[in-house]
Amino acid sequence: MIECKGLKKTFQSENGAFEVVKNIDLKVKENEFLVLFGPGQCGKTTILNMIAGLETPSEGIVTVNGKEVHEPGPERGVVYQTISLFPWLTVMGNVEYGPKVRGIPKEKRRATAQHYIDMVGLQGFEKSFPVQLSGGMKQRAGIARAYANNPIVMLMDEPFGALDAQTRYLMQKELERIWEQEKRTVVFVTNNIEEAVYLADRIVVLANRPTQVKAEYKINLPRPRNYVDPEFLRLRMEITDAVDKTL
């Protein structure tokens, strides 16, 4: 349902043009959890931004459900790595922001927002400001906020990258639970191999600048997954080796 054909992105800088993304072809099935995996700084974020509509490709097109993507919109929810909650709004204010600007009446949007706040495990914190929340809680709020707009696609850009190790494991499990509860198509960017193998239906391994597809792995392990399952560890080693070779 998401299709990227021949995606290219070139940036202008003082040293001339440099190609960040080179010829990406991707297809994502409905309700599939796709992970874009690769070492840092290799254009994964740019690809995600192009799918989101936050950046326009220099060449190639992105279509979601057949419609070409030009601009960001609520049907493609984005969860960022950096904190993007509006600091002057409470958790409730943030989560109901999307429905509010689209004119949905108060009763309905409150109910929707509350549903998702509960779903991500933040019940009781509706009136808190982002500055009072921990890193993990902020990301939960970000997820709820994206979900509240009933998106077809969830795009997540290393959302757990800034969290400490414990919280990161916890959030991976939480995300898995949330996703099973309300399935959406997900494109998830990470540079952490454990995270990738834990969450993905399919992993697309991207090589360094210019970014291109190097390999694809289907993960058929049953959910919820076990970090120390032998098959998990084998896949993890295989993919790590593959990536090391491309560096």
**Which residue in 33, 43, 62, 80 binds another protein (CB under 8 A)?**
80
The smaller minimum CB distance to another protein, of residues 38 and 142, is found at 142
The 213-218 sheet, strands edge to edge = 76-79, 153-157, 185-190, 33-37, 202-206, 213-218
The smaller minimum CB distance to another protein, of residues 97 and 160, is found at 97
**Which residue in 43, 57, 77, 159 binds another protein (CB under 8 A)?**
77
Task: Reduce the DSSP state of residue 206 to 3 states and report it.
Answer: strand
Q: How far is the CB of 216 from another protein (least distance, A)?
A: 28
Q: Per rule CB under 8 A, is residue 162 in the interface with another protein?
A: no
Asked if 205 and 213 count as a contact pair (C-beta separation under 8 A), the reply is yes
What is the rounded CA–CA span in Å between residue 185 and residue 125? 28
Half-sphere exposure in the Cβ direction for 20 (13 Å, CA): 20
Positions in 113-152 near another protein (CB under 8 A): 129-132, 145-146, 149
Per-residue mark of binding to another protein, 4-43 (x: CB under 8 A) = ----------------------------------------
Q: Per rule CB under 8 A, is residue 244 in the interface with another protein?
A: no
Q: How far is the CB of 197 from another protein (least distance, A)?
A: 28
What is the rounded CA–CA span in Å between residue 13 and residue 178? 41
What is the rounded CA–CA span in Å between residue 151 and residue 140? 16
Q: Which two tokens stand for residue 227?
A: 């970090």
Residues that bind another protein (CB under 8 A): 52, 54, 71-74, 76-78, 80, 82, 84, 86-89, 97-98, 101-102, 129-132, 145-146, 149
